[in-house]
Every structure is written in structure tokens, then in C-alpha cells.
Amino acid sequence: MVGKVAMTMTMRCGAFVPLLLVGAAYVAPANEPYRWFPEFPAAEELLVVPFAGDPREGMVLEGVAGLLGKAAIEGRTRTLLWEDLPNDGYQWWFASYVADHAPKVTHASLDEAVRRAVDLGVVRGYVLYDYDTSDRPLHSAGPMDASANVATALVAREAAIPVCVDIEERYRGLGLARVLDVRGMTEEQCLERYGDGLATNALGMSDPKARNARSLMIAMGTAVVSGVGEAYGAALRRCEPDSPVIGWGCGSEDGITSLSSRMGLFQTATNWCHNLTVLAEEDGFDLIRPWKPPAKQASTARHRANLTLTDGDNIQWLMGNFMGGSEARFYYANPHRGEIPFTWGIPGPGLAQLSPRTLAELFSTATPNDDFILYSGGGYFYPDLYGSDRPEADALALHARRLRAYCDLTGVRILAFNFMDWDGADAMRACEALAKSIPGLLGILAFQYYPYPAGEGRVMWVEGAEGDRVPVVSCAMTVWAQTGRERDTTPAAVAARLNEVAATTESSVSWVLVHAWSYFRPADPSADLLAEERDVAQDGSTPGSTRGYEPALWLASRLGPDVRLCSAHELLQAVRKAAP
């Protein structure tokens, strides 16, 4: 940053404390990062509205935020909208943003914000839809009224906020006119009728019941689909290769992601994100300082093991409950963080664009024992499927070239991917394409969609840039509750397995994943190895249960002298040193 003061947060006993630092100038890498998402100009005025807990009001809020963001990109306004969330993370990002840009902060009700957008010439009316009231669980497939998605797709075209019929009179009372009625219109019909006017460099996907992240879809003018039915495939086919899917859809994770992967698009897991049209700010790369891996620690232990916690390219989690909020104590705000070498898988390229303040905060508050890898390198997709339905586009090669600059920007040169078949020919071709495009890539960490440790710790090698050989290290074990699988098990059982491997192997390494969402309960060291998961509800309701970083500490405490925990960087360096 040049001429700006950045507010960052230092961690003290699990809480973040504001600290003002003067930043050094950002030096762009030789290969300037490609942007999948727009930059939003810094606000001269921020309209701060209360959190919208009612999704019907939330749709209106997202509409106003999206239209203001679109107008800002086009140079028609410098007024943006901020939703005031009861989450520590978002409170920190807001304070930091205001400290840097000094906008006029105007507190307003949602309806006052609508009137302000009308006065600015950004909103001229509303698009009417029916809110989906089915008993279908959120993000599940099934019968639905998708007219909310149709309305969202057409908001930018009509310069009109999405309003459901339940609250239509409220906005008619504000003087807004109905400019379009999409009740009864399907996503397929919307694509057929209006598709030519919708963006092809991104796709919006959302449960019609959910409101989050629609502001970014609106600002980018994307089509919006639920992920169910023919519309999803048609919407993917019309998009350019290596484009993002904003939000999250309905149906199974692998079903949604397999189809987008085959078409050469990646998921972003942004369906619970807020305030993207503010936080995806221009010059956001200025906030990020390249991170430096932890120093190697001297040891005579026979076996190195790395513990990595990640939920993949989950941008919404990193922006919210990973660092702040009610669940942060399980993760980056755990008061014991830093006591053991530990690796965090992060969505680096996504955060660098959509919330660079979050990424900068991760790096600036890291302890000497904190280590980072880039999960998927830009989004959630299966590399062995990426672009397979339109091979002429070579989406993976395109993605690999774009990814290189984000390795330079973040300083992280380890990638982790979720494969359908981790050691298949298609997976190895994908790894080689990535390795050849990223000079200095230390390695690729590989796990399989099901089961994660299908590779049992085996190592494959691919050709990299400038004649380098790059290791592809598979997951050996996972700390994962109640799966019934031998290699997905409790902290105690994983520790016992590591001790056994160390006792029977001359020199070796193990990459271990810590499942982010599994709850465990402390058990006496004399108890059997599965006691930590027995009778533990996975909704967090069991007294004394916890997840994330704490179970990793229990695992560490059970390791014998022949096993040493290390960073992912050190583990891969050891693999390279022992290369055949």
C-alpha cells in the first residue's frame, strides 16, 4: 500500500486486537494475477444497514448492494452498501476498510437504502417473484419455485430490485413500480428468453430460498440457476472455460461439482458470503504480503507427519467463522494455536480477490508454527475431470497459467486437490499441467473424494517446469469421526498408526488431514482408540465435545519420540530429498 494506513489484527489469547501498521508498497509479480471477479472502487459513502435475517428482505438488500456495485464499476456512483453483521470477522474487515478509505458512513434502514439508490438513479423499480415456501431442506434437490433465481438474473438488466409478492405492497408504498413479473418463469425459460444479455464469464448458483452472494451475481450480470435440472447444464455450456460459479446450489456436492468440473468451471463456496461488493475492492492486492514458510526444525525422529486442516475452497468460512464468530475457537482463533506445527488449507486466489483483507490477516497473524497451502488453487473442482466435456478449450491449462501469479502473490507454492481418482491417468496429466505452469512448485497434496486416504500415503511424481520433478503426495489418514473406515478415525487411532509406522519404517512421511467438521470428546489415555468418537453427536450437542484444532493437539500429545510433526513445506522437502 502506498500512502495508506492498513488496520490489521494481532491475535492475543484467541481474540483479535486492532493494530495500525504502515504497509510497504505492493510489488506486482511479473505475471499480474488474472481476475475472475471485478474490483469495486473504494466507497466515498457506505450505506450501513442492519443484518437482514428474513431472506425476503435479504433478497432486496442483495439487489440494492448489487446494483450499487455495478454502478460503481461503471463509474456512476461511489456509494456502496454494507450489511452490519453480528460476526467478529466482518466487524474487523469493516473497521479496516473504513480506516483505509475514510468513506462517509451513513446508517440507514433497508428501505432508506432503497430510496437512496432510487435517488442516485441506480434503482428504477422492482422485479416480482414468488418466494419458495416448499418444505425442501436448504440446498437439497426437489420441487421448488425458482423464480427468485430468475428475478436475480434480470435485476441488472432491469435496474430493479427483486421483490417477492409477500412484501410487494411495502415497496409499492415507497413509490417503486413493478417493471417485470417473473412469477411462474423457470430457469430454462429465462435462459432461452434472456440468455443473450447475461454474462458468460461467470455463473450464479443459488437455492431459491437463500439470499447470500446474489449482490456479486447482480453486479456481474450472471445467469442464476439452482443446480437442478436442464438449466444448470445449459448455463454451464454457455460460459467461457475456467469461469467461476458463484454461490452454491441444490443437490449432492459431487453431483454439482462433477458437472461444473467437466464443463471447465469451478465452484467458489460463497453462498454464505456477505458484503462482497465492498470487500472485493480495487487495489486489494496491495494489502497482501507474500508469506514465508516456517523454518525447518532440527530433529532425529524417524518419521515426519504433517497435519492439515482445510474445508477446501470455502471462501465464506474463511471470511466469517474461521477467524471470528461463534465457531472461530475451533479454528484460527483457538487460544492454543501455534503450539504445534500445523498447516491450514486456504482458498488463496479467491480470498485475494473477494476479501483480500481476510487473506492479509491470516498471513500477518500467523505464528512460527502456522503453515499454509493453496487448496485447489482458485476454486473447487476435480482436476481429473476439469474441462473433459469440451477438451478443445483446455480449461485446465488455462487455469494453471492463471494460477502461477497467485503463487507469486501469496508466496505459497504447495497445492492441494480433491480428485475423483487420485492416481489415475487423468489425475496425473492434470498434476503435470499444473506443475509445468508453476516454476518452483514444491509439491501437490492429493486426496480422493471418497475416501480421502485412498492413496494411503503413496507418492507419485510428475514432470514440472524447467526439468523439475514434482511429488504428488496422497493423504495417508484422516482425523474424521464415526466413518467406520480404518484410515478415517479418531485422533488417538491416527496417533497410534503413526507411532506404528515410525517403529517399522526406516525413514518416511505421512500427510494427515484433519476433518474440519468432526466432533470428538476427550478420552482417558487408557481408553480404547475409538473412545473419542463414541456417542458424540456430530451436531455439537454433546457436552465437552470439540472439533478442529483441539483434537489435533490431542493427537500430537499421543505421538512417540520417533514421530515429529512438521509443516507441509518441510514434509515435501523431505519427500524430494528421498526421491528415487
In a domain, 11, yes or no: no
Number of domains in the chain: 2
**Between 459 and 579, where is the model more confident?**
459
Residues 112, 56: Cα–Cα separation, whole Å: 16
Predicted pLDDT at 17: 40
Per-residue model confidence as pLDDT tens digits over 349-381: 999 999 999 999 999 999 999 999 998 777 999
Residues 271 and 418 in one domain: no
The reply to whether omega before 451 is within 30° of 0 (cis) is yes
Residue 202 lies in a domain: yes
> Residues 247, 372: one domain?
no
Per-residue pLDDT tens digits for 424-440 = 999 999 999 999 999 99
* The pLDDT of residue 262: 97
pLDDT value at 295 more than 90: no
Give the CATH number of the domain where residue 497 resides. 3.20.20.490
Q: What is the pLDDT of residues 12-50, one digit of tens each?
A: 233 444 333 333 333 445 568 999 999 999 999 999 999
Task: Please report whether residue 288 resides in a domain.
Answer: no
Q: Determine the distance from the C-alpha atom of residue 54 to the mean position of all C-alpha atoms in its chain, rounded to a whole number.
A: 24
| pLDDT per residue as tens digits for the range 48-62 | 999 999 999 999 999
Indicate if 268 and 322 belong to the same structural domain: no
Residue 12: inside a domain, yes or no? no
What DSSP string describes 396-437? HHHHHHHHHHHHHHH---EEEEEESSTTSHHHHHHHHHHHHH
Return the pLDDT at 30.
54
State the pLDDT at residue 232.
97
Q: Quick one: 44 and 189 in the same domain?
A: yes
- Confirm whether 367 is domain-assigned: yes
Q: Choose the final residue of a domain: 279, 310, 336.
A: 279
Mean pLDDT of 454-467: 96
Question: Do 162 and 225 lie in a common domain?
Answer: yes
Residue 567 has pLDDT above 70, yes or no: yes
DSSP state, residue 249: -
pLDDT score recorded for residue 21: 30
Reported as a single tens digit per residue, the pLDDT across 489-534 is: 999 999 999 999 999 887 799 999 999 999 999 999 999 999 999 9
Beta strands in 508-569 (DSSP E): 508-515, 563-565
Query: What pLDDT, on a 0 to 100 scale, did the predictor assign at position 31?
Result: 66
* 233 lies in the same domain as 354: no
Length of the chain (residues): 580
Q: Give the pLDDT band (50/70/90) at residue 580.
A: confident
214: CB partners within 8 A, 6+ apart:
59, 62, 63, 66, 152, 162, 204, 206, 224, 247
410 inside domain: yes
Q: Are 225 and 341 in the same domain?
A: no
Work out the percent of the chain whose per-residue pLDDT is above 70: 95
- Same domain membership, residue 404 and residue 260: no
222, 244, 279: which is the final residue of a domain? 279
* Within-domain flag for 16: no
Q: What is the mean pLDDT of residues 398-410?
A: 95
Which residue, 92, 99, 84, 83, is CA-closest to 15? 92
> Do residues 307 and 343 lie in contact, with contact meaning Cβ atoms separated by under 8 Å?
yes
The x, y and z cell numbers of residue 99, run together, are 480506516
317-348 CB burial, b ≥16 within 10 A, e <16: bbbbbbbbbebbbbbbbbeebeebbbbbbbbb
Fill in the DSSP letter of residue 281.
B
pLDDT tens per residue, range 69-114? 999 999 999 999 999 999 999 999 999 999 999 999 999 999 999 9
* Mean pLDDT rounded to a whole number for the chain: 93
Instruction: Give the residue numbers spanning the domain of 418.
Output: 302-577
Of 279, 313, 336, which residue is a domain's last? 279
Whether residue 561 is contained in a domain is answered as yes
Q: Going by C-beta distance under 8 Å and a sequence separation of 6 or more, which residues neighbour residue 173?
A: none
Per-residue pLDDT of 216-246, as tens digits, reads 999 999 999 999 889 999 999 999 999 999 9
In 3D space, the residue among 197, 199, 259 whose CA is nearest the CA of residue 226 turns out to be: 259
Whether residue 515 sits in one domain with residue 383? yes
**Together in a domain, 334 and 399:** yes
Residues 212 and 325 grouped into a single domain: no
State the pLDDT at residue 376: 79
- CB-CB contact of 36 with 53 (8 Å): no
How much is the average pLDDT of 472-479?
98
The HSE-up count of residue 128 (CA atoms within 13 Å, CB side) is 16
Residues 121 and 222 in one domain: yes
* Bridge partners (DSSP) listed for residue 417: 446
